[in-house]
């Protein structure tokens, strides 16, 4: 852990001073620092790299922002296996579980090798159109099929493995990892799934029939969802950040990715503490 890569939410007004102080602290401790270009521009450093190449130049990444910033960084880390320390600029996040006050104590532990890791599964989504693969994505949270504001309820024919599941009549469908269970799926009344479980969660969005319920399947299965409606205002959204327009007959094939994402576990609180804090369990 001799070299730290840094990605910060550069639109946050606090990011400049936080990144500057962090770079000085790391280099004062004899560690190397590398930043992506957006983060480097905050502190006037010229020794920056393109964000997509950042994992090639560091041993681990410090991601400063919120869960959205971390999701963006996760796409950069991809299959590199480089661990991520998520630092939240505001309240605790489900993935950015270290606060600013805890950043330097956490780094001290990292450099003493006094840390644990969580291996989080990711999903790969392929879009097939007329028998051709037209798009390919890797996500940490979820793959979402949803209609536009003016579109009618859509039909999504869904199979799990080689078995027909159902044709969902709904505003959309969420296929998520356990990590993503506390995102859009939770807002759609899906269950909270412990993040290291080996499962894929299928959650309909505002289904036309109340008998449609969320479903968990083993992560060894492949989920296929075919857009069976003629609506043109339908989109595939990846981790809430990347969009792809869908057409009738498009098939979205979702399976577990071969690689996992390594999170540096917070040494200060466990997952259940984060849940109680974020969801205010036990408060009146």
Catalytic residues: 67
Going by the DSSP 8-state scheme, the letter that residue 233 receives in this structure is -
Helix or strand run (H / E) with residue 257: strand 251-264
Chain-centre distance for alpha carbon 97: 14
All residues at 6 or more sequence positions from 78 whose CB lies less than 8 Å from its CB, including other chains: 55, 138, 259
C-alpha distance from residue 238 to each of 20, 32, 124, 174 (Å): 32, 33, 10, 10
Q: Do 103 and 26 contact (CB within 8 A), yes or no?
A: no
Query: Are the beta carbons of 143 and 284 closer than 8 angstroms?
Result: no
Q: Are 126 and 135 in contact (CB under 8 A)?
A: yes
Answer whether 33's CB lies under 8 Å from 62's CB: no
Distance CA 17, CA 195 (A): 33
Number of Cβ within a 10 Å radius of residue 142: 26
């Amino acid at each position: 852990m001799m070299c730290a890569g840094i990605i910060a939410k550069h639109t946050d007004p606090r990011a400049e001073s936080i990144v500057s102080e962090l770079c000085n602290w790391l280099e004062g401790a004899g560690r190397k620092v590398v930043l992506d270009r957006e983060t480097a521009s905050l502190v006037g450093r010229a020794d920056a790299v393109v964000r997509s190449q950042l994992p090639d130049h560091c041993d681990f990444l410090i991601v400063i922002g919120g869960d959205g910033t971390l999701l963006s960084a996760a796409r950069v880390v991809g299959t590199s296996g480089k661990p991520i320390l998520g630092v939240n600029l505001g309240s605790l996040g489900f993935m950015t579980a270290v606060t600013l006050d805890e950043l330097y104590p956490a780094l001290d532990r990292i450099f003493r090798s006094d840390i644990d890791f969580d291996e989080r599964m990711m999903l790969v989504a392929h879009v097939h159109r007329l028998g051709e693969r037209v798009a390919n994505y890797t996500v940490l949270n979820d793959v979402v099929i949803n209609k536009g504001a003016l579109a009618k309820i859509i039909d999504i024919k869904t199979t799990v493995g080689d078995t027909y599941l159902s044709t969902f009549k709904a505003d959309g469908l969420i296929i998520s990892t356990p990590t993503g269970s506390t995102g859009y799926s939770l807002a759609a009344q899906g269950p909270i799934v412990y993040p290291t479980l080996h499962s894929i969660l299928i959650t309909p969005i505002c289904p036309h029939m109340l008998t449609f319920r969320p479903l968990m399947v083993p992560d060894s299965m492949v989920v296929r969802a075919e857009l069976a409606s003629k609506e043109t205002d339908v989109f595939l959204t990846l981790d809430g950040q990347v969009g792809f327009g869908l057409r009738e007959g498009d098939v979205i094939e979702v399976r577990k990715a071969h690689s996992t994402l390594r999170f540096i576990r917070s040494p200060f609180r466990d997952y259940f503490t984060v849940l109680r804090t974020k969801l205010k369990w036990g408060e009146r």
